[in-house]
Amino acid sequence: MTEVIVDKTPPILHGPSDKEKKYDRQLRLWAKSGQEALENAHILLLNSGSGTVGVETLKNLVLPGMYLGCSILQADLY
């Protein structure tokens, strides 16, 4: 006759982590290795003048997950 096995339980499914939720678009674009490379990168940004180019650049680097340990924004570099 046919034997029915009922002792097996389905595997536990885990949802995405908080980090995966936060950086979902970046992870889709360049995968986990690319996101880790971005997070481990070291950037030096020299901004001359009082324009917003440097500030916008910093914003665009921070939003995808880059950590900025120190940033110095100075209008005049004399």
Q: What share of the chain is helix, strand, coil (3-state, %, to 5)?
A: 40, 0, 60
pLDDT score for 26? 85
- In order, the DSSP letters of 15-43 are ---HHHHHTHHHHHHHHHHHHHHHHT---
Backbone angles phi, psi at 42, to 5 degrees: -115, 125
pLDDT score for 67? 75
Write the pLDDT tens digit of every residue in 25-73: 888 888 889 888 888 888 877 766 666 787 788 888 888 888 776 666 5
Cα 64–66–69 angle (5° rounding)?
Answer: 150
C-alpha span between 71 and 53 (Å, rounded): 14
